[in-house]
Structure 1
Amino acid sequence: MTGVTIPGVGMTRFTGASDRSLVELAATAANRALDDAGYGPDDISSLHVGNALGDALGLQAGLGNALTSSLGLEGVIADRVENTSATGASAFHRGVEALKSGHAEVALVVGAEKMSVGDTSGVTEAISRLTHEREYAQGLTLPSFGGLAASTYLARHDVPREALAEVAAKNHRNAAANPVAQFQTEITVADALDSPVVADPLRLYDCCPMMDGAAAVVLARETPEDVCVTSIGSATGTHAVADRRDPLELESVRVAGERTFERGGVTPDDIDLACIHDAFTILELLELEELGFYESGTAWKATLDGETRLDGRLPVNPGGGLKARGHPLGATGLSQLIELVWQLRGDLPAERQVSPATTGFAVNVAGFGNNSVCTVLET
Structure 2
Amino acid sequence: MTTPVWIAGVGMTPFGRHSGKSVSDLTRWAVTDALRDCGAAANDLDAAFFGTAAQGALEGQHMIPGQIALRAMGIQRIPVVNVENACATGASAFALAVNQIRAGAAEVALAIGVERMNVGDPERTMSVFDGAYDIADPAALARTLLDLGGEVDEPDLGPRSIFMDVYAAVARNHMRLYGTTQEQIAAVAAKNHDHAAANPRAHYRRPMTVSDVLAARRLSYPLTVPMCAPITDGAAAVVVCSEAGLRRLGAPKRVEVLASVIGTGTDRDTRTFEGHQARLLAARAYEQAGVGPDDVDVAEVHDATAFGEVLQTEMLGLVPPGEGGPAALRGETALGGRIPVNPSGGLESKGHPLGASGLGQIFELTEQLRGTAGPRRVDGARIALAENGGGFHRGEEAVTSVVVLRRA
2:373 and 2:14 map into 1 onto residues whose CA distance is 16
1:294 aligned residue = 319
Q: Deviations over 1:164-220 (max 9, x none)?
A: 111000001000010000001111111110111111111111111111000001111
Alpha carbons 1:129, 1:136 under 8 Å: kept: no
Change (3 A) 1:77 1:113: same
Alpha carbons 1:57, 1:118 under 8 Å: kept: no
Asked if 1:252 corresponds to 2:277, the answer is: yes
Does 289-298 or 248-257 show the bigger shift? 248-257
Q: Deviations over 1:73-118 (max 9, x none)?
A: 2111111101000000000001011111121110111100000115
2:168 aligned residue = 147
2:17 aligned residue = 16
1:325 and 1:374 map into 2 onto residues whose CA distance is 20
**3-state SS in 2 of match to 1:167:** helix
How many residues were matched structurally? 375
Asked if 1:344 corresponds to 2:372, the answer is: no
Instruction: Output the aligned Cα RMSD.
Output: 1.7
1:275 and 1:377 map into 2 onto residues whose CA distance is 11
Q: Deviations over 1:103-142 (max 9, x none)?
A: 1110111100000115222222211221123663577521
1:14 and 1:330 map into 2 onto residues whose CA distance is 12
**3-state SS in 1 of match to 2:43:** helix
1:109 and 1:71 map into 2 onto residues whose CA distance is 15
Does 145-154 or 41-50 show the bigger shift? 145-154
1:244 and 1:77 map into 2 onto residues whose CA distance is 41
Asked if 1:303 corresponds to 2:305, the answer is: no
Amino acid at match of 1:235: G
Match of residue 225, structure 1, among 225, 237, 253: 253
Change (3 A) 1:147 1:226: same
2:360 aligned residue = 335
Shift, 1:253, TM fit? 1.0
Long gaps (5+) in structure 1: none
Alpha carbons 2:23, 2:69 under 8 Å: kept: no
1:129 aligned residue = 131
Shift, 1:155, TM fit? 3.0
2:291 aligned residue = 266
Alpha carbons 1:264, 1:376 under 8 Å: kept: yes
Alpha carbons 1:359, 1:378 under 8 Å: kept: yes
Match of residue 384, structure 2, among 360, 364, 367: 360
The correspondence of residues 305-324 of structure 1 with structure 2, limited to 5 A, is: 305-324=330-349
1:234 aligned residue = 262
The correspondence of residues 6-155 of structure 1 with structure 2, limited to 5 A, is: 6-61=7-62, 62-117=64-119, 119-133=121-135, 136-137=138-139, 140=142, 141-155=162-176
Among the aligned pairs, what percent are the same residue?
39
Shift, 1:10, TM fit? 0.5
1:212 aligned residue = 233
Long gaps (5+) in structure 2: 143-161, 247-251
Amino acid at match of 2:257: V
2:188 aligned residue = 167
